[in-house]
A and B are shown apart, each in its own frame.
Chain A
Amino acid sequence: MNQFTPPPSGATFSQRVRTSARQLAELGEDSISGLIDLTSLRLVRFATTLTRNQHDAEDAVQATLVKIAAQPKRLHQCTDPWAYLLRMVRNESMLIMRRRPRWNLIGDVCDLLTRCRVDELEREESYREIWRAMRKLPTQQSEVVVLKIWEEMTFAEIAGVLDISPSTAASRYRYAIAKLNCQLRENLSQPHEDLQQHV
C-alpha cells in the first residue's frame, strides 16, 4: 500500500514553474520569492545529491536563483523552465564542487536538515539509510535517480537535463537502482533481524 501522498506530476509542476517564470519576467525581481517557495525544496535536494553536502547545495541554489532574478527573461523564454533551472543548479553544483572539494565521510548525513512527519517517524532511519546509500552512488547515477523518482521525469526529459541519451539515462538508473537495492537490503534488513534475535 502506498501511504505517501504523490507529489505533483512533472507536467503540472513544470507548468507552475513556467507560470512563476512568466510572473518573474513581467513583475521583475520582486516576484522571485514565488519561485523560491515553489522550487527551493526540489532544487536543494537535487543539488544535495550532487554536492553531497547541503550547505554547498544551498549555495548552488542561491547562486542559481540570484542569477535568474537578475535575468528573468532567460528563464521565461526557454522551452522548459524547470529543466533549465535543474540544469543551472547542476552547473552551479559542479562549479562549487570544483572550487571547494570537500572530504566527506562516507555515510555521513549530518549536514542534512531534515523533517519527518509523525506518521513517518518509524521510517526515519530508512530515509537516512537511503540518503547514505545515495551518497555512495556515483553522481552520474544518483542524479538520474533523483530526477526519475523525485522529479518524476521521463528518461527523455532526464536526457534533456543531463545532456545524455535516454538509453544512457535508463541504464544509469538501472545500475543505480541495483546498487541501492543491494545496499539497502543489507542495511535495512540487519536491524530488523537484530531486533528479532533480541526479542
Chain B
Amino acid sequence: MFDPSQWPDKSESHESSQGDAFFDEMKELYGDDSHGPHFADETIHNGVELEELIRGAGRYVRPGDQLRARILERVSHRRERRRIWQRVLGGFTLSCTIALALIIIGRSAMTFMPRGPSSSDLHSQATRRANADGVAWEWALTEVVYDWRRSAATNLSRATPAPQTSATNQPESDRPSVPTSRTHRDGSLR
C-alpha cells in the first residue's frame, strides 16, 4: 500500500506551516528515503484532506451539559466530607492529647505526693508482727493499722499545725487510750 515514491512534496500538498513542521518531524524520525507514512492520497472527499476532516470532527463532539455541574458538585461534596473527617480526626487527636496529658500529670503527681503503705505492706507487717509477738494475725493486722493511723495523724499534725482546742489541752491521762500489744502483750484484757 505504501509507496515511497509517492511521498508528497510538502511545497505542493502542505502549504501551511503546521504541515511543514509535521513533515520536518517525520523526516527527523524516518529520514528522506524512509518508510514514510502513506499520505500521498489523503484527499478523500470532495478535495478535503483527511486531517482537516478529522480536525473538524473533533469539534463535532461536546461534553454533556451536566458535566460541569456534576464535577463542581462532586468537588463540593468531597470538600465537605474532608472537613467532616478533619473535624473527627481533630477531635480524636484532641481527646487523645488531653487523656495523655491527664495521665502524665496524674503520674507525676503520684510521684511527688507522699504515699501511705499499701494493703500488701500492711499485710506483710501484720504477718511479721504476728510471728514476732505470737498473737493472732487478725489482731496483729489491727495493731498495724492502728500504728499506721497514729503515724499518719502525727505526720498530718506536723504538716499542718492543729488549732488550739479544748481537746488538745486535755491532760494526757484524760485522753482515751488505745490498747496495743505493747501495753498488753498477752492480749488477756481483750
Contacts and interface: CB of A to CB of B under 8 A. Distances in A.
A45 B44 contact: no
A32 B25 contact: no
Interface of B: 1-2, 16, 18, 21, 25-26, 29-30, 36-39, 41-42, 44-46, 50-64, 67-68, 70-72, 74-75, 78-79, 82
Nearest to B16: A2
Interface string A161-189: 00000110010011001101100110011
A123 B38 CA distance: 24
Contacts of B21: 154
B57 A126 contact: yes
Contacts of A126: 45, 53, 56-57
A173 B16 CA distance: 20
Interface residues of A, number: 57
B37 A170 contact: yes
B72 A33 contact: yes
B98 to A, nearest CB: 31
A33 B68 contact: yes
A58 B67 contact: yes
Contacts of A152: 18
B57 A189 contact: no
Contacts of B57: 126-127, 130-131, 134
Contacts of B51: 149, 177
B29 A170 contact: yes
B63 A173 contact: no
A167 B25 CA distance: 10
